[in-house]
Amino acid sequence: MAYIKLNRENLFYNLKQLSLKSGDKRKIAAVLKDNAYGHGILEMAQMVKEFGLTQAVVMNNQEAQKILNYFDNILILNDTPTANPKLSYAVSELSQLQNAPKDAKLELKVDTGMHRNGILMQELPQALEMIKKHGLNLFGVFTHYRSADELSSEFAWQKANFEKVKKTVRNYGFKTVRFHSHNSAALLRSSEFNEDIARVGIAMYGYNELPEVFGSIELKPVLSLWAKRASTRILKKGQRVGYGGDFTAPKDMTVSTYNAGYGHGLFRGSSQNPFVTAEGLPILGRVSMDFITLESTKDEVCIFNNAKEAAKHFGTISYEITTALKSEIERVVI
Ligand SMILES: *Cc1c(COP(=O)(O)O)cnc(C)c1O
């Protein structure tokens, strides 16, 4: 059986570092979309609430319903607005203002340069007029940076654009609106955070994806993937293991299969360049849907405890390694 361990102490340590940056833990909104980046949305919601966070961000209504009782407000990034005092909804297009229910809390997303979602900056006055005219409830105004994790002028340029947005919103008389733009990278590199919340995902889970030049706040991975032994056998010198027989035993060796594979979300990779587990064991031969073979007789093994290192091996980013893990895998909080 594969299972996931979630390390509460490491999570609290990360949240402490992030609160020092934001100045107040209530200014950190935990981004719990996509099953909390594969960590487990319920387990993570429970723990971040225990730490004292009051704000969360998810993708849709379905996710929000699961954690409704844990937070004062949950921002929903992409779903149809409903009138619920605990939920706020991202509005990314002018047309969405036409259909929004009057009592729904809306957070206007403005495109300050990423060009993925959000109304154009030129459309902002029109959007604010519509909100006034229809008597809509504008709860927040926000944006998202495309290059907060890179050393370039792009970040400063987008930030300056967002300052203009804030000014326009205030000039239209919206005095109580909350403003936010920072993701993990932006918060970690900022020295004078002064917005109402920061939307923090990857850093909370333990990964600082910023280049060294920004000074490195050390964070600690929350998740580790474990697997239990299914069976053990002796492989004679010259015998080959698994599909295609890609691994040939160079000597007599004792190997075991462990119940974890690409069916659990472990990347299959290539048997020519095997992934090496956290305990230094290279995967022998191909990764199957539910099994890997290792030269070990231990009853359980840690497959990885650092998604950033695993990501390096598989040529991707930490986000994809953890988000790939299936929600059916048992989560154990330690
Ligand atoms: C996912 C997401 C975040 C969190 O980004 P991290 O890099 O994980 O901190 C913040 N804001 C928006 C709009 C997002 O979609």
Confirm or reject CATH 2.40.37.10 for domain 223-333, answering yes or no: yes
Find the mean pLDDT for residues 236-251: 97
Query: Got the DSSP string for 23-55?
Result: SSGGGEEEE-HHHHHTT-HHHHHHHHHHHT--E
Range with the lowest mean pLDDT among 6-20, 146-160, 228-242, 244-258?
A: 146-160
Query: Got the DSSP string for 47-73?
Result: HHHHHT--EEEESSHHHHHHTGGG-SE
Is the Cβ atom of 183 under 6 angstroms away from ligand 1? yes
Strands (E), the chain: 2-6, 28-31, 55-58, 73-76, 87-91, 105-111, 119-120, 137-142, 178-180, 198-200, 223-235, 240-241, 247-248, 253-258, 292-294, 300-304, 330-333
Fold identical between 8-214 and 223-333? no
Q: How far is CA 98 from CA 104, 184, 294, 306, in A?
A: 13, 33, 58, 45
Q: Atom 15, ligand 1: which residue's CA is nearest?
A: 77
Identify how many contiguous H helices and E strands the chain contains and give both numbers. Answer: 10, 17
Answer yes or no: are the C-beta atoms of 318 and 219 closer than 8 Å: no
pLDDT band at 152 (very low <50, low <70, confident <90, very high): confident
Is the Cβ atom of 198 under 6 angstroms away from ligand 1? no
Is the Cβ atom of 259 under 6 angstroms away from ligand 1? no
**Token digits for 43?**
């387990």
The arrangement of secondary structure in 8-214, i.e. its CATH architecture, is Alpha-Beta Barrel (3.20)
Q: Does 140 have pLDDT greater than 90?
A: yes
Q: What is the pLDDT of residues 62-88, one digit of tens each?
A: 999 999 999 999 999 999 999 999 999
Q: Does 212 have pLDDT greater than 80?
A: no
Which range scores top for mean pLDDT: 52-56, 191-195, 207-211?
A: 52-56
Is residue 33 flagged as an active site residue? yes
Q: Does 271 have pLDDT greater than 80?
A: yes
Find the mean pLDDT for residues 143-150: 88
Domain boundaries, the chain: 8-214, 223-333
Find the mean pLDDT for residues 193-197: 97
Catalytic residue among 164, 236, 237, 243: 243
Task: Using the atom order of ligand 1, give the atom closest to the CA of residue 142.
Answer: 13
Best residue among 32, 78, 183 to mutate for probing ligand 1's pocket (most ligand atoms within 8 Å of CB) is 183
Is the Cβ atom of 31 under 6 angstroms away from ligand 1? yes
Beta carbons within 8 Å of 73's beta carbon, 6+ residues apart: 54, 55, 56, 86, 87, 88, 105
Mean pLDDT of the chain: 96
Q: What is the pLDDT of residues 273-319, one digit of tens each?
A: 999 999 999 999 999 999 999 999 999 999 999 999 999 999 999 99
Is the Cβ atom of 199 under 6 angstroms away from ligand 1? yes
Compute CA 35 distance to the chain's CA centroid, rounded to the nearest angstrom. 9
Is the Cβ atom of 105 under 6 angstroms away from ligand 1? no
Residue 227 sits at the vertex; the CA angle it makes with 316 and 270, to the nearest 5 degrees, is 40
Ligand 1: distance of its center to the CA of 282 in Å?
33
Best residue among 18, 144, 150, 199 to mutate for probing ligand 1's pocket (most ligand atoms within 8 Å of CB) is 199
Identify residue 99 by its one-letter amino acid code: N
